[in-house]
Amino acid sequence: MKILSSKPLKSDILVFDEINYEYLKKVLPSGYSITIIKQRPEEIFISREILKGLVHIFIKRFSIKEGIKKSLKRSYYESLILSFEPKAVLTIIDNHPIFNYLSKTIKSIPFIAIQNGLRHPFEGSSGTFHVQHYFSFGENEKKYFPKYNMEVENYYPSGSLINSIFSTKNKNIEDEKFNILIVSCWRGNIGYGKDVKDSMNSMKIFDNLMSKYISKRNLKAAVILRNERGGEHWYMPEIGMTEEQYFNKIYPKNVKIVETDFKKRNIYDLINKSDLIISSFGTTTLLEAYGTGKKILYTIFCNDEIYHEIFDPSIKCINPEPKYFDNKLDEIISINKDEYFSQHKKNMEYYMNQPKPDTLSYIKNQINKIISSENTFDKKK
């Protein structure tokens, strides 16, 4: 945490959380001043105006259930945001609990979030997810968010922002091609709650089945790791090994293990060079690939349907019986890619919308409309 003894100059747009700002700024309308409310590490601004607002809000909103620490933090950020009097608050970290709280609490300012990853139904259990204006991947979120206590006031299905940026960059398809690209679902050091245990168990079942299938069919396959070497999520103490060690232990040497590069986003290059994209859990990457016309398969071997019910039966396998698994893969691999696209086109657009003229332009234009609108928001604080 970093304590600053003053508040920065007022800005038209506040960006909440600096993560992926380099992508967010591509869709920010021109002509507006911008301030980033940094979270990594967290920057705390202290001024008489903010402290006065904090005390007033804390007294008004404090609840024993939330506790003093949580109430103070929420009150601070509410006071900070209101002191800026911005035209809008934006984030690409759409599930940030403080942003979600402020979006629900402050109605005098538009709060705008761009979906950054697949939101699983179990994420709604806390009851904190709330966004006033949400640039979702597609129409699917409209269907399952309300069912799982995730609140959105206005949806704008627009596809994946990051994919739209890198899919235009990664056109260098090298000679090396793959029949199958396995997307790692390694969870890392985020605790070892039920969803982590379930997903890691599903991953182990899947990888053992996949390893045998690749060898039997003599296929060319690659695994794209989820974390960069040496990062905080590279080693999982609960598993007792690194992500790389895990995959090397299961897959034969002819399966290529590819280290991820967050700056280059090399996963999109691999998607371009692979026929089938597959994973052992609900990862965003597969839907991004699906939206560009690729064959995908979610193989989720968890008994609780909350992990897989948001996916259409045509793009998932929940039966770990080896013969069924092999037949499912044979069926998908054997189908002509043009025929697959024809069969799945409507579903692809449902999960990953392709707005006109393109995702970047659509998001930028809609944000500008939201900010410039004088009648959309209740001006009472």
Supply the DSSP symbol for 229: T
Separation between Cα atoms, residue 161 and residue 165, nearest integer Å: 6
Average pLDDT of the segment spanning 3-19: 87
The pLDDT value recorded for residue 174 is: 56
Confidence band, pLDDT 50/70/90 cuts, at residue 170:
low
For all residues of the chain together, what is the average pLDDT? 93
pLDDT tens by residue, 52-97: 999 999 999 888 888 999 999 999 999 999 999 999 999 999 999 9
Q: Is 373 exposed, middle or buried, given 0-12, 13-18 or 19+ CB atoms closer than 10 A?
A: exposed
* Residue type at 173 in one-letter notation: I
Angle in degrees, CA 113, 131, 22, rounded to 5:
10
Domain at 166-351: CATH code: 3.40.50.2000
208, pLDDT greater than 80: yes
Element (H, E) at 80: helix 68-84
Residues in CB range of 153: below 8 A, 6 or more apart: 131, 132, 133, 134
Pairing of strands 235-236, 241-242: antiparallel
Q: Of 216, 362, 352, which is closest to residue 277 (Cα–Cα)?
A: 352
pLDDT tens by residue, 21-30: 999 999 999 9
Residues in CB range of 24: below 8 A, 6 or more apart: 15, 90, 91, 92, 114, 161
48, pLDDT greater than 60: yes
The pLDDT value recorded for residue 6 is: 74
pTM of the model: 0.92
pLDDT tens by residue, 101-158: 999 999 999 999 999 999 998 888 788 999 999 999 999 999 999 999 999 999 999 9
Is the CB of residue 198 less than 8 Å from the CB of residue 304?
yes
Confidence band, pLDDT 50/70/90 cuts, at residue 12:
very high
203, pLDDT greater than 80: yes
* Residue type at 280 in one-letter notation: S
The pLDDT value recorded for residue 332 is: 98
* Annotated domain spans of the chain: 2-159+358-372, 166-351
The pLDDT value recorded for residue 169 is: 57
The pLDDT value recorded for residue 10 is: 84
CA distances in angstroms from 12 to 9, 18, 31, 372, 377, listed in the order given: 10, 17, 9, 11, 16
Confidence band, pLDDT 50/70/90 cuts, at residue 172:
low
pLDDT tens by residue, 246-270: 999 999 999 999 999 998 899 999 9
Whole-number percent of the chain with pLDDT over 70: 95
Beta bridge partners of 112: 90, 133
Average pLDDT of the segment spanning 38-59: 93
The pLDDT value recorded for residue 201 is: 96
The pLDDT value recorded for residue 376 is: 45
Separation between Cα atoms, residue 324 and residue 279, nearest integer Å: 17
